[in-house]
Amino acid sequence: MLRTHADVLVIGAGVAGSAAAMHLAELGAGSVVVVDPDLAGIRSSSERNAGGVRATWWQRVNIELCAASIAFLRAHGSEVGFRPLGYLWLYGPQLWDRAAGHVALQRALGQEIELLAPAELGDSWPEIDRLDGIAGATFSPMDGLVNANAVKELYRRRARAAGARFLDRRLVVGVERDGARARGVRLRALGDEAQALASLAGVPVEGEPEFIECGQLVNAAGPWAASVAELIGTPVPCRAVRRQVSTFRCRDVDLSRYGMIVDTTGCYFHHEGGDLILAGYSPVGDPSGYRFDYDGRAFFESEIWPRLAARMSGMDRLQYEGGWAGLYELSPDNSALVGRVQGSANVYEVHSFSGRGVMQSYAAGRALAELMVHGRFDTIDASALAGARFAAGTLQLEELHI
Ligand SMILES: Cc1cc2nc3c(=O)[nH]c(=O)nc-3n(C[C@H](O)[C@H](O)[C@H](O)COP(=O)(O)OP(=O)(O)OC[C@H]3O[C@@H](n4cnc5c(N)ncnc54)[C@H](O)[C@@H]3O)c2cc1C
């Protein structure tokens, strides 16, 4: 059996694991190794998201992590395809007062937010001509859209340049502990992509056994973080839920000068590139588990189209193109877990971003690396995201969740 050593072993090479590896290597954590059954990330959330980045959250820690990450993405705009086109969010009467009530905190933390009455929408978004159910709107011009794959590749390039290694076709299947310390992980070296994808759908797979001894261990396994936490021996109350998005063409509406638009119904959409528009919606009751089947035209026709047509007359006629399903990694309060795993001396976690992983990845990775290398948060305080909060009752609840 192949045996090797890493000062830091990161499980999972999505945006979270790649960002953590970059910061760890750049902060001098020693030898950093990242393992993943599929570095291409075919089933990872980092390849299946909508690419929106915004800082208009309700909890201070989420605003701060997003703001710091967006500042980085903006500074590397040409590399990550950052489109600083803002977020327009339309609210119904049930949420409007509460959403407007959080604007003071967002502004105090440096965010520009405009509050809009329904009648004002036509000045800048004339396509939104069906105003039923809109009580108010916010526009946050500092937010935007990115190419999440390019973000991940940027992190990986920098991580590699600082000495980190990424090992493909490696599935973690066990964690060896000495009391509160993780000694290392047992892996299976997988043969091909089919095996890797099957393993991520929960199918047991064979492969050459390997062991990597480690000084510190990071769970960055995204929607699979709960399974990895079980292997570590410290379960987390997180779960994976299927989310679907569709793409389509619309001859009568050009959204290319706008960023993300979120309807009162929770349906979100933006210009995807070329003549395509992307739209997503999260029906109540989407199944938990590792499901990647996309419901196709039926999803588009029942969940997307009626909501868009109810908002814009130009969307009465659409041409369906396609779509896909990916996984949200939900925690009980819809906020990520970042920090040292409770009860462990050398195990850390950065996962369960609950649909916010791209927009928080840079800052969450930085905060974790500071904690692991320096023993404290130096530039970004992510202490509110410690997993211990669920037992302590200090939840970081995000209700505006799409
Ligand atoms: C439809 C959809 C739309 C979204 N829209 C947005 C958006 O607009 N903006 C935004 O910020 N976020 C969005 N998200 C969420 C975002 O994509 C995720 O929060 C983010 O990608 C999580 O990154 P991650 O690295 O934690 O997880 P992942 O990218 O899933 O990476 C986890 C990795 O762990 C690996 N792994 C799993 N098990 C093991 C194991 N046993 N051993 C080794 N490796 C393992 C997997 O192979 C995978 O590569 C969206 C998600 C979806 C599904």
CB atoms near residue 107 (< 10 Å): 11
Structural contact between residues 54 and 140, judged by C-beta atoms closer than 8 angstroms:
yes
Give me ligand 1 centre to Cα 330, in Å: 11
The pLDDT of 299-314, averaged and rounded, is: 98
| CB-based contacts of 394-398 (< 8 A; 24+ apart in sequence) | 395/332, 395/333, 395/335, 396/59, 396/61, 396/62, 396/333, 396/335, 397/58, 397/59, 397/333, 397/334, 397/335, 398/57, 398/58, 398/59, 398/62, 398/333, 398/334, 398/335, 398/354, 398/356
Instruction: Report the relative pairing of strands 136-140 and 87-91 from DSSP bridges.
Output: antiparallel
- Indicate if the pLDDT at residue 402 is higher than 80: no
In order of 260, 283, 351, the CA distances from 306 in angstroms are 18, 13, 34
Which residue type, as a one-letter code, is found at position 128?
Answer: I
Q: What is the CA(48)–ligand 1 centre distance, in A?
A: 8
pLDDT score recorded for residue 58: 95
In the chain, pLDDT over 70 holds for what percent of residues? 100
Task: Tell me the pLDDT of the chain averaged across its residues.
Answer: 97
Instruction: Report the nearest atom of ligand 1 relative to the CA of 170.
Output: 43
Paired with 97 in beta bridges are: none
The pLDDT, as a whole number, for residue 394 is: 97
The phi, psi pair for 219, rounded to 5°, reads -95, 105
pTM reported for the whole predicted model: 0.98
Read off the pLDDT of residues 158-167 as tens digits, 9 standing for 90 and up.
999 999 999 9
pLDDT of residue 6: 98
The confidence score (pLDDT) of residue 3 equals 83
**Residues with Cβ within 6 A of ligand 1?**
11-17, 35-38, 41, 44-46, 48-52, 171-172, 200, 220-224, 228, 243, 245, 280, 326-329, 351, 353, 355-359
Q: Is the model's pLDDT at 316 over the cut of 90?
A: yes
What H or E segment, with its residue span, contains residue 227? helix 225-232
- Cβ atoms of residues 31 and 14 within 8 Å: no
Whether pLDDT at 44 is above 90: yes
Count the neighbouring beta carbons within 10 Å of the beta carbon of residue 4.
14
Q: Is 296 helix (H, G, I), strand (E, B) or coil?
A: coil
User: What phi, psi does 260 have (nearest 5°)?
Assistant: -75, 140
- The Cβ of residue 369 has, within 10 Å, a number of other Cβ atoms equal to 27
Q: How confident is the model at residue 401 (pLDDT cuts 50, 70, 90)?
A: low
Ligand 1 probe mutation, 46, 304, 356, most atoms within 8 A of CB: 46
SS3 of residue 366 by DSSP: helix
287 contacts: CB under 8 Å, gap ≥ 6: 241, 242
